[in-house]
Amino acid sequence: MTLQLDATVPARGFGMSLTVETGETLAVLGPNGAGKSTLLAVIAGLLRPDSGKSTLDGEVLFEVAPRTRSTFIQPAARGVSLLAQDPLLFPHLSVLENVAFGPRSAGVRRAQARAHARRWLEEVEAPELAHRMPTELSGGQAQRVAVARALASNPSLLLLDEPMAALDVSVAPALRRMLRRVLRDQTVIIVTHDILDAFTLADRVVVLDAGSIVEQGPTHEVLERPRSRFTADLAGLNILSGVRTANGIRTFAGNEITRAAPGIALHTSIVAAVRPSAVRVSLAQPANFHVAALPGIILDVEPHGGLVRVRAEEFAADITPALAAELDLAPGNCVWFAFDATDVTVYPYQPSTIIERGRSAQAKRIP
Amino acid sequence: MATPSLAGLPRWVLVVALLGALLVVLPLAAMVSRVDWANFFSLVSSESSVAALLLSLRTSAVATVLCVLFGVPMALTLARAAFRGQKLLRSLVLLPLVLPPVVGGLALLYTFGRRGLLGGTLDLLGIEIAFSTTAVVLAQTFVAVPFLVLSLEGALRTVGTRYEAVAATLGARPTTVLRRVTLPLVLPSLVSGSILSFARALGEFGATLTFAGSLQGSTRTLPLEIYLQRETDPDAAVALSLVLVIVAVIVVGLAHRSGTAGERRSAEL
């Protein structure tokens, strides 16, 4: 009882295989154009892949291979429901009829379909909206109804395409809580830009870039030990990938970080992650022997929460406004980023070696 | 609603627009001024007039139904399907819009007439179409169907396929999607397209005369009656024309109302 997918769409540079277990929620992260929407369209049957095979609960969704007869199940027959950023409630039907649409299409009698719809409206905490028309709803209400409508069709797999991206920040938290509750027993793929969605809703995460999977694993594993710049930015971490040298780490960008990553074998490819709040900024190279440091040219300086984020090509630091003013920081300045070795999390660069939690995944903390 | 200002419009545009409006309105006014009001009712209620009016309404109604029956699938095919020769097909379907109606009538005659393309077959089946009420309906359908196809295809493209995709992922089969999503969404355009088709069918003259002739009670529709009366009883012709004008004004009004309702709906989408 799982989704198995293996598909390519060369015209969009898309090619990947993935599996979603029954009852699991998988978050799909990635920059714009990474292939997230293509992935959902292929699974929903709105886009025909050029090759590949997919099964859901043992039923073939599509099977396309050169020189053989291909199978392609129509969207209506897949048991896959898609909820987009835009709720797309049918404007000519009331809220109740919108939610009852799936059961009605499956041949359920009107009264029974409506009773089913009422139950789902209660489930999404919106029973009082039943007799409104979609134009009379706020964005958050409409999205709740859209969730109820998608779930009322009793899908084997629910696809959510940035369901909270179009919502006001004030209503998103309530919707997220509701989603966490109703999605608990569902098999779900959720595309999101929001790391909070990934943490609260997903059991597992895949990160896409340029049409392929670049990182995957349990949510905490991927987001706390990011390997790609995109994931690190999303997780709000600085990452430096490089090779362990005699002095510390030589990053792939060519920087030498001294006094970091002791206890790791020479020539191992590693990633070091540091929170920007643990990074200090100074104009001169720190003299303290116990501190790791690397130089950088400031790209920009901008407010970040109550602090100031100082960003360079490879690294960022959050410092107090007072310090930023004192150092008179401006883009183009050359500064030193310094951090205690104890604030660095070091882990192997090769994702395959850490998929399993435990021995190799254990972060090596520096004394 | 605020009225947009005319500030950006050159004055001469308004003058030319006014001249154009006069070109349309003045003849109508001139005709109305010639109506013999004292005898208006008796003129339009003569036996031949009533027969022509009823025939016109009946045939136009049937033609409109045929336009919807054939036009909706045609519009759906043109708007939603993608195939080779689609552009060519669209041009062909819309041809009656630009074709002189007499030519259309001749074409119909050479298709359904006794010596036409299908004439032999129909003859064997004992069906004779030319110069019958059926011919009137066919001629009206021929000239009116592009109006429906054109307005509906535009509406289908405006509405887009996103709702249809959602309906499909909710488990609705294509026919269910069509019945419960697509058609309700384009209903205002379907209504206004039907009304326009009805109006075009009601005014049909050339193709009807060529293909169906002018037999009182069976093929002589109101426009043919007016043309005939003009020779013998100009007052009756003018009175009947006024009836057609009134019907046309009502039709345009209805079409406009459902058209703006459609625009409002698409704006909400």
* A80–chain B Cβ distance below 8 A for any pair: yes
In a domain, A248, yes or no: yes
Average pLDDT over residues B103-129: 87
What is d(CA B117, CA A62) in angstroms, rounded to the nearest whole number?
47
A61 lies in the same domain as A201: yes
Which of A84, A88, A105 is opposite residue B171, by nearest beta carbon?
A105
> Does position A201 have pLDDT exceeding 80, yes or no?
yes
Question: Among positive and negative, which fits the CA dihedral B100, B106, B112, B117?
Answer: negative
Residue B168, min C-alpha distance to chain A (Å):
5
Domain region containing A157: 2-224
pLDDT digits (tens, 9 = 90+) for B51-67: 999 999 999 999 999 99
Please answer whether residues A268 and A244 qualify as being in contact, where contact means their C-beta atoms are separated by less than 8 angstroms: yes
Q: Which helix (H) or strand (E) holds A44?
A: helix A36-44
Q: Which two tokens stand for residue B210?
A: 């060529």
A188 lies in the same domain as A128: yes
**Pairing assessment for the beta strands A59-64 and A280-282 based on DSSP bridges:** unpaired
Q: B39-59 as b/e, with b when 16 or more CB fall inside 10 Å?
A: ebeebeebebbebbbebbbeb
pLDDT digits (tens, 9 = 90+) for A22-31: 999 999 998 8
A8 lies in the same domain as A83: yes
pLDDT digits (tens, 9 = 90+) for A229-272: 888 888 888 888 888 887 777 877 777 776 666 677 778 888 88
Which of A88, A91, A153 is opposite residue B171, by nearest beta carbon?
A153
Q: Which helix (H) or strand (E) holds B59?
A: helix B47-80
The end-to-end CA distance of chain A, in Å, is: 46
Does CATH number 1.10.10.60 belong to domain B39-159+186-268? no
Do residue A90 and residue B170 have CB atoms under 8 angstroms apart? no
Specify the number of domains making up chain A: 2
> Does position B138 have pLDDT exceeding 70, yes or no?
yes
CATH of the domain at A121: 3.40.50.300
Confidence category of residue A341, pLDDT binned at 50, 70, 90: confident
A169 lies in the same domain as A218: yes
What is d(CA A59, CA B86) in angstroms, rounded to the nearest whole number?
36
Distance of CA B99 to the CA centre of its chain: 14
**Model pTM?**
0.78
The ipTM value here is 0.79
CATH of the domain at A279: 2.40.50.100
Q: Which residue has the higher pLDDT, A285 or A109?
A: A109
Distance of CA A144 to the CA centre of its chain: 21
Which of A84, A135, A153 is opposite residue B170, by nearest beta carbon?
A153
* A87–chain B Cβ distance below 8 A for any pair: no
A158 lies in the same domain as A96: yes
A193 lies in the same domain as A67: yes
Please answer whether residues A316 and A183 qualify as being in contact, where contact means their C-beta atoms are separated by less than 8 angstroms: no
In a domain, A229, yes or no: no
Do residue A82 and residue B269 have CB atoms under 8 angstroms apart? no
* B148–chain A Cβ distance below 8 A for any pair: no
Q: What ranges do the domains of chain B cover? A: 39-159+186-268
A160 lies in the same domain as A218: yes
Do residue A101 and residue B162 have CB atoms under 8 angstroms apart? no
Q: Which two tokens stand for residue A236?
A: 């709000």
Residues in chain B: 269
pLDDT digits (tens, 9 = 90+) for A65-77: 888 888 999 999 9
A257 lies in the same domain as A156: no
